[in-house]
Structure 1
Amino acid sequence: MPRPTPDLAAEVAEALEAFLRHLELERGRSPHTIRAYRGDLTGLLAGLPRPDLTSLDLPLLRRWLADAHAAGTGRSTLARRAAAARTFTAWARHTGRLPTDPGARLESPRPRSALPEVLRADQAADLLDAAGAGAAENDPLALRDLLVLELLYATGIRVAELCGLDVDDIDADRRTLRVLGKGDRERTVVFGAPAERALARWLQLGRPGLARPGSPPALLLGARGGRLDPRVARSVVHRAMTAVPGAPDIGPHGLRHAAATHLLDGGADLRYVQELLGHATLSTTQLYTHVTVDRLKVVHDQAHPRA
């Protein structure tokens, strides 16, 4: 774990490092979350007027957010920074580093739930057909890229979850994946026949061509035989989207949106989609119902005689 910036006083830097260890070891936060908290809190703590935590109070927290807002920081980022500050001050109070918790009264703007740009079902079919044609010669990388697209769309899993899969996480007979999601929550997701065929071709003809003696047990491998990096998987999706005229330029998360929306369009129960996506709360999944209602309004306006 990298050290904080040298602008922090020794006592403040020690408190930040202890907090980040708490997030990692006791609360099981991901490296991505810890990096975000480090960046947010380093900016906050660098503005302390004294070289200790006792000057961290509610007016300072509010000024910190206000300055970020004035600089054009978005609502989602402001909400994340406020959450990081509240978590830190609660921990500091609990560990005796602060006499009170100033973050308990800190409010932040709610991030707007912007409707995601969603791939239509016919565009998704064109995307996968083009990838399948590209894998016709059984090139290992083309077979891998086809499986990346098929699994992302078939299951709606996150790109980090996809790249974290091992071969043993696959139950080919039941067509299921064992996925380790956010907060180390494990769930089982299912996939259909097209993804099953892409998986079989990859395991038989693609993966052996990329595997090296020191390769990990990862399901998906990079060109040098290591575990596929999520950044490479993102580039695979963006590159594949260029083969679909008129389609939005989406990444893996866009395929996740598409999978959820198309399931709901097909009549899937909202709680089933919640389980598939690994959402902790149903309210997160309900975003996709807004997408389908929006699409329903378009159809109504175009087709209903009294629209």
Structure 2
Amino acid sequence: MTDQLVVSSTERRLTADLFQGLAAVPAELEWFANLRNGATRRAYENALQDFVRFTGIAGPEEFRQVTRSHVIAWRDELAQRALSGQTIRHRLAALSSLFEYLCERNAVTHNPVKGVKRPPVDSYEGKTPAIGDHQARQLLDAPDVATVKGKRDRAILATLLYHALRRDELCRLSVKDSRHERRGVAHLKVTGKGGKTRYVPLHPAASGLIADYLEAAGHAEEASGALFRPLHNGRAAGSAAALTPDAVYKIVQGYSAKLGFKIGAHALRATAATNALDHQADIAKVQEWLGHANIATTRIYDHRKTRPEDSPTFKVTY
């Protein structure tokens, strides 16, 4: 017989202290620690705080009292606030993720979010607009390449437009990440969501612009340092520094606004994906290229089904 377990030939019982320890809801920080992506962590934290405010939960133990009715009432209240279906689905997903974790830790008996009907999935078509080919060329030509900033910004725009990277992925690139070679072809080593790594062939046009920028900025030999950096007095900052996703957003927005079509950085990812699909790229390859876990997400960028010339109407002959 031990201090923690009372064992007989027919039963195994937890002591009262161990039972209470297992029943206690784990700290929120333990759950958040499993969320590696900073943006995901912030979104989930906001969703959880919203649910706690709505239900009036005062302590962790009260999560054991949450029922499906509470979740449905919260969902309906979110809808009354005129939040989008996408936002409501994300918040329900965040709450469900927490309860799944608590179930695994034996802190609650079930996940009350399961079975709660969620808003229908939007088509997303047009939510992030892709720009035309001529606008993409205008954007690439917009920076003043007589300056280090202009060389950097043009290399950034080319990296986004030719490789469909997310802002976070671009900001995480190091100098050596732009110098990988696979089967004799230059590749970018991209760290995507969830820390997943993928290798994307480096487009020759982007490769040349990156090389020009590194030579002008003076950190070409700092292999482990950030590739794209803030500038101080016309020079790149120290090796530990990297541009933030917000800075990248402002760079894209700034140049595009001057050209008359104000967009964010994600529009360049949409543009690259749409362009590749329009030029007959295999959708499964595009999914891998974008780092999408689900091909349904990739189909958002596939506008070929909306082109009249591709309609089955014109395949009919008598």
Give the alignment's TM-score, normalised by structure 1: 0.82
Alpha-carbon separation, structure 1, partners of 2:201 and 2:193: 18
1:16 and 2:31 correspond: no
- Is the 8 Å Cα contact of residues 86 and 106 (structure 1) preserved in structure 2? no
* SS of residue matched to 2:188: strand
Q: What is the letter of the counterpart of residue 140 of structure 1?
A: V
By how many angstroms is 1:249 displaced? 2.0
Counterpart for residue 166 of structure 1 = 174
For the residue of structure 2 that corresponds to 1:175, the secondary structure is strand
Verify the 8 A CA contact 2:26 2:107 in the aligned structure 1.
no
Q: How does 1:105-144 map to 2 (within 5 A)?
A: 105-116=115-126, 117-131=129-143, 134-135=144-145, 137=146, 139-144=147-152
Residue 104 (structure 1) aligns with: 114
SS at match of 1:119: coil
What's 1:3 paired with? none
1:180, distance to aligned residue in structure 2 (A): 0.5
User: Is the contact between residue 90 and residue 103 of structure 1 (CA under 8 Å) also seen in structure 2?
Assistant: no
Cα distance between partner residues in 1 of 2:112 and 2:246:
38
Matched, 1:287 2:300: yes
Matched length: 275
Map 1:208-223 onto structure 2 (within 5 A): 208=219, 217-223=225-231
Matched residue, 1:61 = 71
Residue 271 in structure 1 maps to residue 284 in structure 2? yes
SS of structure 2 residue aligned to 1:178:
strand
Q: What root-mean-square deviation, in Å, do the aligned CA atoms of Structure 1 and Structure 2 show? A: 2.6
Contact 1:20 1:34 in 2 (8 A): yes
**How big is the shift at 1:14?**
5.8
Equivalent-residue separation in structure 1 for 2:202 and 2:247 (angstroms)? 22
1:127 and 1:243 in contact (8 A); partners too: no
Distance 2:29 2:272 in 1: 39
The answer on whether the counterparts of 1:48 and 1:55 sit within 8 Å (CA) in structure 2 is: no
Match of 1:150 among 158, 165, 175: 158
Deviation at 1:181, TM superposition (A): 0.4
Give the corresponding residue for 1:84: 94
Alignment partner of 1:234 is 2:259: no
Provide the rounded CA distance (Å) in 1 between the counterparts of 2:215 and 2:248: 21
Distance 1:105 1:208 in 2: 54
Gaps spanning 5+ residues in structure 1: where?
Answer: 1-10
Q: Would the aligned equivalents of 1:90 and 1:104 in 2 still touch at CA under 8 Å?
A: no
Partner of 2:42: 35
The 10-residue stretch of structure 1 (11-20 or 157-166) with the greater mean CA deviation from structure 2: 11-20
Q: Which amino acid aligns with 2:253?
A: H
Give the conservation status (yes or no) of the 8 Å contact 2:26–2:102.
no
Does the residue aligned with 1:242 lie in a helix, a strand or coil?
Answer: helix
Structure 2 gaps of 5+ residues are 1-22
1:107, CA displacement in angstroms? 2.4
In 2 relative to 1, CA 278–300 (structure 1 residues): closer, same or farther, beyond 3 Å?
Answer: closer
In the alignment, the residues of structure 2 paired with residue 12 and residue 145 of structure 1 have an alpha-carbon distance, to the nearest angstrom, of 51
Aligned to 1:198: 209
Provide closer, same or farther for how the CA distance between residues 106 and 242 of structure 1 changes in structure 2, counting only shifts above 3 A.
same
- Whether the aligned pair in 2 keeps the contact of 1:144 and 1:202 (CA below 8 Å) is yes
**Which residue of the partner structure matches residue 72 of structure 1?**
82
Structure 1 residue 189, shift from structure 2 partner: 0.8
Q: Where has structure 1 moved over 3 Å in runs of 4 or more?
A: 11-15, 48-51
CA distance 1:103–1:59, shift in 2 (3 Å): same
| Closer/same/farther in 2, CA of residues 65 and 110 from structure 1, 3 Å limit | same
Query: Higher Cα Rg: structure 1 or 2?
Result: 2
Which of 266, 272, 275 in structure 2 is aligned with 1:253? 266
CA distance in 1, matches of 2:57, 2:204: 62
Q: Write the deviation string for residues 14-40 of structure 1: whole angstroms up to 9, x where unpaired.
A: 63223212x23xxxx311111111111
Cα 1:123–1:196, aligned 2, differ >3 Å: closer, same or farther? Answer: same
The Cα of 1:68 is off from its aligned counterpart by 1.0
Equivalence for 1:8: none
Cα distance in structure 2, aligned partners of 1:235 and 1:178: 24
- Secondary structure of 1:42's counterpart equals helix
Residue equivalent to 1:4: none
